[in-house]
Amino acid sequence: MFDDKLKEECGVFGVYNNNEFDTSRLTYYGLFALQHRGQESAGIAVNNKGTILYRKEMGMVSEIFDDVVLDYLKGHSAIGHVRYSTTGESYAENAQPLVIKYTKGHMAIAHNGNITNASEIKKELEEQGTIFQTTSDTEIIAALLSRIRIKYNAIEDALNEVMRKIKGAYSLLIMTPNKLIAVRDPLGMRPLVIGKKEDSYVFSSESCAFDSLGIKFVRDVEPGEIIVVNKDNIRSIQTEVPKKSAACIFEYIYFARPDSIMDGIEVFSARYKAGIVLAKEHPVDADVVVGVPDSGLAAAHGFSDASGIKYVGGFMKNRYVGRTFIQPSQEMRELGVHMKLNPIRSQIEGKRVVMIDDSLVRGTTSKKIVNLLKEAGAKEVHVRISSPPVKYSCYFGIDTPERKNLIAGNMSIEEIRDIIGADSLGYISNEGLLSTCKNGKRDYCMACFNGKYPMDVDDKEDN
């Protein structure tokens, strides 16, 4: 009900251990820190002297793994994966890492992203006799890599050719009997960072996992880069694919954890700056600023600091809503039952409120929150959104509704304001948003706002 958000599809974590670390537990805690990137399924595969042991299941990291399983998963390297829960059917078969045997032995692959020419490659492979057991892009990558690998001695060379064939967004971790390989797509759409702990190398979708684990952040994997770790060294291979930067800007808006630093930008800071920009672009005369927890809070701080309007803690969020929670029926909701958010009346009553949220996708949730604030006595509610209107679908690993369900794809801002019942509504501008994460290092994909996709997309219906 209060969950009108775009959804990240995955997070990956991996470690190549030259020390006596407990790789499965390190990966467990790493995935745990990345749990916000996917709550549907999780998995860990370890390389136990050439044999790959693994466990993957539907559920949250803490539900799937216990001490017995983690003790079983002994190995000198490990990769792990968290996957998000779509609204539709979830298949256990799609859980990752994908563990396969091929002509060079066993291999495990974990993937965050979306291949945009997957159908075409799948068709090509099927016509050569390949069978598929899942609906995941990861299996397509594995099948393609395996077939291309025949021609090459080194997996890196095969990967190079794979990267020339596949299009889209991908951050990959590949564990072979002797290597741990990290790959980031040529546009650098999905994040991937390198860390170090003593002599071991660690990879993660986000740096927040390093902080929680006492791992030293080294740098981002660069767009189009292949990094190969083995027991002797770590090597960087710049692929031959043409590179231009198009990092997903929504990572900063909503997906990533505020304490992560991606491509040189701390997520919290980007959000805070968006609040500052918003205050300048859409000033308003009001008494208090409230952020919608949790992703609207940083921008609310920025808005308050820039506007001088007092920041208040306006909401109580019930954190006990787990996956087995029975959502209130329509009838219950009409009786006024709303479980997740409750305004703090003293902070709202009689006030002109600026309500900051990170995004507005279908608009259903914003309408409810505005209504809650009004019932709690807000005299006015001015909604400010720290991302531009979402008008276009994403084909690069984010679950967006069809365009017809994107409220900003179909209505004017004034119409949206009217529907959500706000006294005013302001979105940050595209330029304004861009300014929050400009650092000269990366360009960004803002296709969901401006429709300018950084590449041709074949599989539009695939999403």
Position 74 contacts a copy of itself (CB under 8 A): no
Within 143-172, the residues that bind a copy of itself by CB under 8 A are: 143, 146-150
The DSSP bridge pattern shows strands 193-197 and 216-220 to be: antiparallel
Which residue type sits at 175?
A: M
Position 336 contacts a copy of itself (CB under 8 A): yes
DSSP at 440: S
Q: What SS3 class is residue 301?
A: helix
Tokens 């609906």 belong to 135
Query: Does 437 count as an annotated binding residue?
Result: no
Nearer CB in complex with a copy of itself: 241/339: 339
* Of the residues 319, 404, 440, 456, which one makes contact with a copy of itself according to CB under 8 A: 319
* Of the residues 332, 403, 414, 450, which one makes contact with a copy of itself according to CB under 8 A: 332
Q: What SS3 class is residue 272?
A: helix
Residue 294 gets the label, from left (phi > 0), alpha (psi -120 to 50) or beta, of alpha
Position 129 contacts a copy of itself (CB under 8 A): yes
Position 46 contacts a copy of itself (CB under 8 A): no
* Of the residues 45, 52, 79, 98, which one makes contact with a copy of itself according to CB under 8 A: 98
* Of the residues 3, 50, 132, 285, which one makes contact with a copy of itself according to CB under 8 A: 132
Nearer CB in complex with a copy of itself: 319/404: 319
The DSSP bridge pattern shows strands 444-445 and 247-248 to be: parallel
Query: Within 13 Å of residue 65, how many CA atoms lie on the same side as its CB?
Result: 28
Interface region with a copy of itself, contact rule CB under 8 A, candidates 257-265, 274-282, 353-361, 446-454: 257-265
Nearest Cα to Cα of residue 146 among 134, 132, 307, 135: 132
Position 128 contacts a copy of itself (CB under 8 A): yes
Q: For residue 461, what are the contacts with CB-CB under 8 A and spacing of at least 6?
A: none
Position 233 contacts a copy of itself (CB under 8 A): no
Cα gap 249→396, rounded to integer Å: 12
The DSSP bridge pattern shows strands 398-399 and 225-229 to be: unpaired
Within 100-119, the residues that bind a copy of itself by CB under 8 A are: 100-103
Minimum gap (Å) between residue 182 Cβ and a copy of itself:
20
Position 83 contacts a copy of itself (CB under 8 A): no
DSSP at 94: G
Query: Does 199 count as an annotated binding residue?
Result: no
Nearer CB in complex with a copy of itself: 211/415: 211
Q: What SS3 class is residue 326?
A: coil
Position 212 contacts a copy of itself (CB under 8 A): yes
Q: For residue 450, what are the contacts with CB-CB under 8 A and spacing of at least 6?
A: 388, 391, 392, 430
The catalytic residue among 2, 4, 7, 10 is 10
Minimum gap (Å) between residue 423 Cβ and a copy of itself:
23
Which residue type sits at 270?
A: A
Position 199 contacts a copy of itself (CB under 8 A): no
**Structure tokens of 222?**
């660069």
Catalytic site includes residue 10: yes
Within 259-318, the residues that bind a copy of itself by CB under 8 A are: 259, 261, 266, 268-269, 272, 297-298, 301, 305, 310-313, 316, 318
Position 344 contacts a copy of itself (CB under 8 A): yes
Query: Does 357 count as an annotated binding residue?
Result: yes
Q: For residue 344, what are the contacts with CB-CB under 8 A and spacing of at least 6?
A: 312, 313, 314, 315, 316, 376
Position 78 contacts a copy of itself (CB under 8 A): no
Nearer CB in complex with a copy of itself: 320/461: 320
Minimum gap (Å) between residue 33 Cβ and a copy of itself:
7
Which residue type sits at 274?
A: A
CA distances from 170 to 2, 109, 193, 245, 396 (A): 29, 12, 13, 13, 8
Position 29 contacts a copy of itself (CB under 8 A): yes
What is the phi/psi pair of residue 407, to 5°?
-60, -40
Interface region with a copy of itself, contact rule CB under 8 A, candidates 159-167, 175-183, 276-284, 336-344: 336-344
Position 61 contacts a copy of itself (CB under 8 A): yes
How big is the chain, counted in residues?
463
> Annotated binding site for [4Fe-4S] cluster, which residues?
248, 394, 445, 448
Residues of the binding site: 248, 295, 357-358, 394, 445, 448
Active site residues: 10
Task: Give the residue numbers of the binding site for Mg(2+).
Answer: 295, 357-358
